[in-house]
Structure 1
Amino acid sequence: MKKIIWPMAFSLAGFSAFLVLRVSSAGFIHEDGLRYLLAFCYACLGMAVVRGCSFLCFNILYFKRIRREAPGLLRIMFSLFAYGIILTLICGLVLEYNITGLLATSAVLSVVIGLALQDTLGNFFAGVSLHIEQPFKIKDSIKFRDHTGEVQAVSWRTTTIRTSDNTFLKFPNALLAHDPIEIFPYDRLHRHSVSFSAPCSVSPQTVINIAKKAASSISNVSYEVEPKARITGFSDSSINYEALFWMKDYMKVNDTSAELRERIWYAFYRENIRMPFPTRHVLLDRMKVECRESVPKVDYRCVVEGIDVFAPLSSTEKEALVASDGIRVYAPGECMVRCGEAGDSMFIIGRGHAEVRAPSSGGPSTVALIEAGSFFGEMSLFSGEPRSADVVAAEEVEVLEIRKSCLQKLLIENAKLAEAFSEKVSERLGTLQKHADSTRQEEIKVEQGRLLERIKRFFNLS
């Protein structure tokens, strides 16, 4: 309101001074001086009127109708037009200038300038249109012709976007107003897709579940809408699928799509599903195609030899464990086991390292690191206990998963192994007692006494 009060105050003061000087018989002020004083008063009054109209039109009526702030460029244009009219009226009516010739000259000059600046004026009025309609805002992503980027600035002449390569492009507003634009609002969900193929021998429901789970594990994918997967067609040697996911930041689509393809590959690899490829020849010999040739091999026999829990096993029994097809590879950041999930297996890390994350009030926090040669999940293997924490791959991790079915064959053949395993696991729990309080020690002692019965019950041993 100060922008209106001050010009009004100067106008009232000027009119008061004009009346005083006009009524008084003092002749020390010339008639021209009074006209200039009166012109100043009308100018201040016009300024107050223009600012009042601007406040009424844009701050009240425009905001009430459009539900957003009026563009600054529109305010400036309104003010310049109104001030021009007021100045013209003051010069013609108060100062008594002959403005007829000036108006004629201005009209001719305006035509010349308009013809010379057609492109500039076109960009200017297109910029005014963009400011009024506001089809996109700062941080929105737009796709214009062959260019995609995030809107950084919208001026009266150009619009600036930043591409995924961190380069800046400026487009004349006239082009944006003329050609179609695809807009991806920053604060709204939009759907994207990744195409991939799977062998015809794998059931579609299995592939769809793998794709949905892989998409849900990516942080950039929105949790508000569940990812989906569907069949898009059939080719000569595969079934074509499409994974659908939702996200808000369009500038991260390429990175998210690449990460989803990576997660699908790792999931296929763990399930021993080969990526399909076109077949154009007849195989005369039955060949076993290895899908893991590119991964460095880990000698898990040496790793198992160094794990004290498996000390009761003979060399032949350890060979049987290693021979089981339980090698899994996980991508960086992928969750290998999740807290609270039921489990019947343990994992031996052969390559890479993982983080143990425990739930807390502020979210999961890393409490330990598991290096190559270490293992986790042994209580789930021996007694079927739920997982007690999340284990997340810190880099690409290869593990040997030992399941209940592999160990159950050995326990049936050698019933004394159950007692040996319970003793070894109890010894591992005993090493933790040094750091536990007395109450916790009593709980561990009771648990140790029941461990053998739990192992027998879990493996259905008499």
Structure 2
Amino acid sequence: MAPRAPSMFINKLALDLEFVIALALGAAAGLVLLLTSPLHKRTAITSWVALAAFTLVGAFSRLALVAQMARPAAILQGIADLGIVAVSLHALIAVLFRLVLPKVGLRTARIVEDLSSTGALITWIIIWLHGQGVEPGSLVTTSAILTATAAFAMQETLGNVLGGIVLQLDHSLNVGDWVKVDDVSGKVVEIRWRHTAVRTRNNETVMVPNAWLLKNRFTVIGASSDPDTAWRRWIWFPINVQHEPAEVIEAMEEAVTHADIANVLKSPAPDAVLMEVHAGYARYALRYWMSNPRHDDPTDSQVRSHVMAALARHGIELGVPSEERLISKDNENRAAWLHDEQIKRNMRALKGVDIFHPLEDEELRQLAEHLVATPFARGDIITRQGAAAHWLYVLAKGRVELWAERDDGRTHITSIDAGGVFGEMSLMTGEPRRATVQAATDVMCLRLNKLDFERIIRQRPDIAEEMAKILSTRMQQLDEAHRAAHVLPPKQGGGDVVDRIRQFFGLPPAPSARETRTGR
């Protein structure tokens, strides 16, 4: 290889124009990368250090010229030119792929940047060799055996490189995709020459060789190119075989469909299916569609909570294999004691409700006998505005929110904490629900039906008037809450409250004031 003669330099202490331009462009590209994002800091600093090193080599070449050492000076200058242009090309390509192309909406994988940088570097080396009087073709011919030996020794590395290229060319895997590789599930954060980096939900980064991905099966859960990602999840429940499948499926589907659960899509709608029947239990699956694969376990937990609460409300029991079922027998005294304790708890809950204050203890006990424990999970719609439901709920545990439904959405009215009651107007007058009630937490309600209360009011029709006064006060309070929320209160039924109570329960009309005075 013949070194460049000293006559190629305009002056012993002057820099080549190409050298200055390449150095300036490389330094500017590094500065742009550094100022744009901290993520590019490493590339910028590496470029500056490399440019400084090759600039120092160029300075040594000038000193060699001053010392009349033409051949070493030419070699050093050639190394400096080669290195500075190579580093500048790498920095400029980084600016192009990381800053310029994303601005115009073109995002590429990191391996495309690496390939472009390598291609530009190889092209520059060929041009540099040609400028040094060396034909690249002669080097390839004379080193064929060495090249074959190196390729054989690096076949695994080359397989990884080719695997990364193929994965990018056919778009089977892209940065941002959620994938499952064997027992690893996570998000693709980077595709490099040798490996693909997958970040799990535990914030662990798993390096998967590209050659392995090319040869084996992997699952793309959610593609980054698809904005409407929907991933179907299966939640399993063992149910006692004594329950009708239609009843179980309806309860499970309504539990998720009517609840507001984060990351659960309304469309496609959730569905339940009976998958297997075993000795003692049937295996059901609740299938729902998730919008964000990152939150799989927390969302599954929320769905299970809603379904479990719905099954309990419908009296549907979980099943166990018959050979493992435990059978216990309580004596009559213990069963009676447990029943009496439950009645006492129900009576305490009823005594805290103002509309039941006119009732005697025996009457409260009769109602307590018929209270039904009704659990709801957080987010469940307990009752909807306008619905016809002839029962009330005593809130034993938790908190509920009252909402006013409108054409343009719904507005929050007020909250009810444990010890409160709602649905009393529907129980006493048959009036449709005046607001939508939603569980703000997991709640336990005690439900009282009209038929159970009807026995009491028929025995003592006179309590209708006292209860009417309490209901009127509660209606005024609810109307004030509507107005405070800037919502028009619902229209009330016509007639006096006491007359509406008597009419709803089929009681004779209350005597007028004149009839009372004359004794008629």
Q: TM-score range by the shorter chain?
A: 0.7 to 0.9
Structure 2 distance, partners of 1:359, 1:433, is: 14
**2:292 alignment partner in structure 1:** 249
Q: State the 1:210 CA deviation.
A: 0.7
Structure 2 distance, partners of 1:137, 1:76, is: 16
Q: Tell me whether 1:125 sits opposite 2:162 in the alignment.
A: yes
Aligned residue type for 1:165: N
Structure 1 distance, partners of 2:374, 2:282, is: 24
**1:380 alignment partner in structure 2:** 426
Q: Tell me whether 1:163 sits opposite 2:206 in the alignment.
A: no
Structure 1 distance, partners of 2:109, 2:442, is: 51
Name stretches of at least 5 consecutive residues in structure 1 with no aligned partner. 1-6, 11-35, 37-42, 60-66
Deviations 1:135-166 (A, max 9, x none): 13333221111211122222222212222323
Match of 1:202 among 227, 236, 243: 243
Match of 1:234 among 259, 267, 277: 277
Aligned residue type for 1:248: S
Q: State the 1:268 CA deviation.
A: 1.9
Summarize the Cα distance change of 1:358–1:111 in structure 2 as closer, same or farther, 3 Å threshold: farther
Aligned residue type for 2:417: E
Structure 2 distance, partners of 1:339, 1:106, is: 85
Aligned residue type for 1:162: R
Aligned residue type for 2:286: A
Q: Following superposition of structure 1 onto structure 2, how do residues 139-218 of structure 1 map, counting pairs within 5 Å?
A: 139-186=176-223, 187-216=228-257, 217=259, 218=261
**2:34 alignment partner in structure 1:** none
Q: Which moved more, 1:278-287 or 1:425-434?
A: 278-287
Summarize the Cα distance change of 1:283–1:354 in structure 2 as closer, same or farther, 3 Å threshold: closer
Q: Following superposition of structure 1 onto structure 2, how do residues 380-419 of structure 1 map, counting pairs within 5 Å?
A: 380-419=426-465
Deviations 1:291-321 (A, max 9, x none): xx9xx97823223223221122221111111
Q: State the 1:79 CA deviation.
A: 6.8
Structure 2 distance, partners of 1:117, 1:129, is: 18
Quick check: 2:176–2:187 contact (8 Å CA) kept in 1? Answer: yes
Deviations 1:254-278 (A, max 9, x none): 3333332222221222222222223
SS where residue 332 of structure 1 aligns?
Answer: coil
Structure 2 distance, partners of 1:392, 1:424, is: 24
Quick check: 2:309–2:376 contact (8 Å CA) kept in 1? Answer: yes
Structure 1 distance, partners of 2:256, 2:481, is: 41
Quick check: 2:198–2:205 contact (8 Å CA) kept in 1? Answer: yes
Q: Following superposition of structure 1 onto structure 2, how do residues 72-151 of structure 1 map, counting pairs within 5 Å?
A: 73-74=111-112, 77=115, 80-81=118-119, 84=122, 88=126, 92=130, 96-99=133-136, 101-151=138-188
**2:375 alignment partner in structure 1:** 329
Structure 2 distance, partners of 1:144, 1:211, is: 32
Quick check: 1:426–1:448 contact (8 Å CA) kept in 2? Answer: no
**1:339 alignment partner in structure 2:** 385
Aligned residue type for 1:394: A
Aligned residue type for 1:124: V
Aligned residue type for 2:289: W
Structure 1 distance, partners of 2:494, 2:207, is: 71
Structure 1 distance, partners of 2:162, 2:234, is: 38
Q: Which moved more, 1:96-105 or 1:350-359?
A: 96-105
Q: Following superposition of structure 1 onto structure 2, how do residues 297-376 of structure 1 map, counting pairs within 5 Å?
A: 299-359=345-405, 364=410, 366-376=412-422
Quick check: 1:124–1:157 contact (8 Å CA) kept in 2? Answer: yes
Q: State the 1:180 CA deviation.
A: 0.4
For normalisation by structure 1, the TM-score amounts to 0.73
Q: State the 1:431 CA deviation.
A: 5.6
Number of matched residues?
400
Deviations 1:184-241 (A, max 9, x none): 1253323222221222322211101111012222332211112111222221112222
SS where residue 188 of structure 2 aligns?
Answer: strand
Summarize the Cα distance change of 1:155–1:378 in structure 2 as closer, same or farther, 3 Å threshold: same
Aligned residue type for 1:183: V
Summarize the Cα distance change of 1:151–1:385 in structure 2 as closer, same or farther, 3 Å threshold: farther
Name stretches of at least 5 consecutive residues in structure 2 with no aligned partner. 1-17, 22-77, 79-84, 509-520
Summarize the Cα distance change of 1:117–1:311 in structure 2 as closer, same or farther, 3 Å threshold: same
Summarize the Cα distance change of 1:407–1:138 in structure 2 as closer, same or farther, 3 Å threshold: farther
Structure 1 distance, partners of 2:133, 2:271, is: 77
Deviations 1:55-95 (A, max 9, x none): xxxx9xxxxxxx98665644653675477468647855x76
Q: Which moved more, 1:76-85 or 1:225-234?
A: 76-85
Deviations 1:414-461 (A, max 9, x none): 222322221221233456788899xx9xx9998685322322333233
SS where residue 395 of structure 1 aligns?
Answer: coil
Structure 1 distance, partners of 2:106, 2:425, is: 60
Quick check: 2:230–2:289 contact (8 Å CA) kept in 1? Answer: yes
Aligned residue type for 1:374: G
Structure 2 distance, partners of 1:101, 1:446, is: 99
SS where residue 167 of structure 2 aligns?
Answer: helix
Quick check: 1:71–1:132 contact (8 Å CA) kept in 2? Answer: no
Quick check: 1:136–1:185 contact (8 Å CA) kept in 2? Answer: no
Quick check: 2:252–2:311 contact (8 Å CA) kept in 1? Answer: no
Structure 1 distance, partners of 2:202, 2:476, is: 56
Aligned residue type for 1:356: L
Quick check: 2:381–2:436 contact (8 Å CA) kept in 1? Answer: yes
For normalisation by structure 2, the TM-score amounts to 0.66
Structure 2 distance, partners of 1:230, 1:79, is: 54
Aligned residue type for 2:440: A
Q: State the 1:179 CA deviation.
A: 0.8
SS where residue 496 of structure 2 aligns?
Answer: helix
Aligned residue type for 1:457: Q
Structure 2 distance, partners of 1:239, 1:287, is: 31
